[in-house]
Structure 1
């Protein structure tokens, strides 16, 4: 075949592809069902949401900007003139939603779609031409462009994407891949993104717009399409299967938000909150690069039959360079219910006057066997019943105090948090719930008597949420015990799921308040004594989510104080500080938190010069390695040559880093028990 014939055939194929794409794009239209449900969503937001939602021009402007963020959050596809061509929608989206006139919204999507398809085609053409990058220049790539202005020309976007392509290739090059592997990986990435783009249908576009609409109100209000609703139901019924990790999109990456207590990932100990997943592989076959992939598609890759193995390519949360990934394996399984059950241990604290014994009860979640409870069975399983048995056992062992470990406890059954408080107080209110109309319902413990009235502490962290925050807040307000650890997650809202004519809506309907009147929303519960934070609060927590409802207060209710731990706080904090300054693991946690914050603030761009990039990465890792080896030297452990080995080495230590918080919390409770006893003796 002549060159002219080959050229004509290529042109013909290109024209056919363009015609196919144009026809497919023209078919992305709103349906009558979507027009109807748009109006239903508007009514739900106006009359059913907790907040006072006004669907007006001001709100419309917020939704317009959020819709642009949903479509092109990194300002990488649309041009300034594209956005300006649709600026007239800025004050019309409230009317569009109420009237169900969705065509203008779809039209804006189609403009984005055209730009994105052209860009992925441009990238593939560059790969066809062969990668020939010069990695010895001083250019840098900005990592986060969400606040950048829209590009004014195609040339500007070409320059941006040239940098992006170069960065992607350089990242793979530094990780040890040869040119063929790099080209194959990048081709797989961009062809996959182009294929997924071309598979977009009208339902997908409606979902994108609804995400902008509901996300403008609060992060927990959400529209679920019929398919998403079915998937949500499956997750609720089969929530104890899979790897047991909650994931969220973070730019181009999929981020681990939390681990299900007792789940496969939790038991394996290979994932931590804020880790980023960049690749997914099955037991056999190649690892699939998931950078830039939609969250639901990544979840589908991770899911699989019980007993099978999934391989994940993970960049640790502390890593500042995306080349520092490691492969981990997790066996898909059901959550071990016994791992979620409350369990106890006794921690011995050595003091000059003798050994103090502190009982610790770990509560991974607030659970109850609803079916058995509703059936009227007397011996149904629940958090409160299990904790009560553990308390009785610890009392028989003669402990000097009891500590409840609610770290990583994301909540669960509200009634269990309520009844659990009742084990430690003699009747009284526990939580206030305010609905959308401002009506406040008061929940409390109605049974007389307490199961345990001795020294008490609650250990929490950033992943302690919802019911955990209600429990910790009540114990703190009553003066019943100490709250130790980190500021909690800050989820103080209640959602309900309602059916629509097409899909469902998850709507924030109420808000939790402590008996003191303070909300647990946004701020969470602030501990009496703070520990170094192992989880970055700017990445994880209610305050890290867009449009989270604000903290506020209601009137406090009448309640009594069971103790006055604040009277001892100065002494407790002073003793804690003295111990913390001499404990290598505690010093390490404090310095690591400071270093992580410093690196995050400094690392806003990456160099496209290979040597400079490697120098920066080595410098950052050298700081992390030096910090780790200072800790290891103080503990008499073997020093490490590579910082990336730190996590696996830590898992083999007799006392893992996180254990230091447990020991220090027990020390503080022992101090509290001693000071309380001295005060009591002085009053006799």
Structure 2
């Protein structure tokens, strides 16, 4: 995935946290545990240490959804695997470094693990924290190390959308070809005449498709600051060319709701994310109470569950939209915001595999409550549960879900997604020629 795109998705997909009930962190042996991240991290935090890893370990056990019931040995195994792999990659493997015998007691196992690490290698310890959280296999669990914005503003190549998106990662079921869906105006990619719809044949000489499967390995090819060499095929002409794109200044506009009137009088509204205030922006566009609304959520990476329930309140009252479920105890229902006046408009929602997190949530509520028709492709299914941030002593932040998300009928949406009522995928040729099969299908339904 293109790095500028991944960064944007990471922010939105992990932001579904506003109204989630979460457990309070508890103190851990050997000092204070992690603390809720209520303020920016310190400007000059100390390097990652064994104590940082200890904080992360107990933070997961105390605050993650299934942490209290987890086998702590699994966490330490993931941490040691990532730690040693980082050492090996840098040619710094240590003779005698091995996993100690573990018993399943989280305190004594940590003591044995810390003794095996000794002073620890800061870079490998950072990798261990990342690997430990990745071992949870949870699409809303993250280890983030905030970095200050570069002087002079953000830089990148400017490709911020590709067809294989599934929330914050590549879709393992994505069908080739792999093509570009969005390019920032004025970016290095735009100046190189890279356009939406261009098919990515190779990245740095590596094929983007192996057989009939998108090559997951190309993600790593965008991880450095080096120029990226793309072999592109333009679907309108069949022409193939290779361009080398260097990073340069890019300009990201704040997300905004846009709208237009479609033939027949329906109102088309595009909502790029469920960011703070997004629901009211959409509702403002609908003040004329149009007979039909085509709400475009394609590429919507998620956001706040409060925005979801507020926007749903414009289309229905008294409905359960989803449930947040703790490991033990009763699930908490989320409901439509009935303070929002009902519009009485017919609703068609456009979705795709990049519709993730709060977007999954909204789509499931629409389908489960019969509030409208879904057109496009199945949503991402990246909605494990809303996450909360916890600050570690090196300035990094763990995002950990404390509850699990279920749909309005208590069905699991995570990893599965919400199926559409009418299949209308976007193709490379559609993008290149300005056609929109989702909107076209919506017009036939209206």
TM range (shorter): 0.5 to 0.7
Query: Given the alignment of the two structures, is residue 98 of structure 1 paired with residue 110 of structure 2, yes or no?
Result: yes
Matching of residues 285-684 of structure 1 within 5 Å: 298=224, 301=225, 312-315=228-231, 325-328=242-245, 332-337=249-254, 340-348=255-263, 356-368=264-276, 382-393=277-288, 395=290, 399=291, 401-447=292-338, 450-492=341-383, 493-504=385-396, 505-532=398-425, 589=427, 653=433, 655-656=434-435, 659-667=436-444, 669-670=445-446
Choose between structure 1 and 2: higher helix proportion.
1
CA distance in 2, matches of 1:325, 1:274: 12
Query: Given the alignment of the two structures, is residue 214 of structure 1 paired with residue 133 of structure 2, yes or no?
Result: yes
| TM-score normalised by length of structure 2 | 0.64
Indicate the SS of the match to 1:516. coil
Structure 1 equivalent of residue 63 of structure 2 = 48
Structure 2 equivalent of residue 38 of structure 1 = 53
Q: Any stretches of 5+ residues in structure 2 without a counterpart?
A: 1-45, 163-167, 171-177, 206-216
| TM-score normalised by length of structure 1 | 0.44
Compared CA separation, residues 295 and 418, structure 1 to 2 (3 A): farther
Greater relative CO (CA pairs within 8 A, separation 6+): 2
CA contact (8 A) 1:61 1:90 kept: no
Q: Any stretches of 5+ residues in structure 1 without a counterpart?
A: 1-30, 108-200, 251-255, 280-290, 303-310, 349-355, 369-381, 535-588, 590-646, 671-684
Compared CA separation, residues 528 and 278, structure 1 to 2 (3 A): same
CA contact (8 A) 1:274 1:317 kept: yes
CA contact (8 A) 1:435 1:509 kept: yes
Post-superposition shift, 1:474? 0.9
Calculate the aligned-residue CA RMSD, in Å: 4.8
CA distance in 1, matches of 2:180, 2:405: 22
CA distance in 1, matches of 2:109, 2:199: 35
Compared CA separation, residues 329 and 427, structure 1 to 2 (3 A): farther
Post-superposition shift, 1:482? 0.7
Structure 1 equivalent of residue 9 of structure 2 = none
Q: Give the structure with higher Rg (CA).
A: 1
Compared CA separation, residues 394 and 223, structure 1 to 2 (3 A): closer
CA contact (8 A) 1:207 1:223 kept: no
Matching of residues 90-239 of structure 1 within 5 Å: 98-99=110-111, 101-102=113-114, 104=116, 202-219=121-138, 220-224=140-144, 228-229=145-146, 231=147
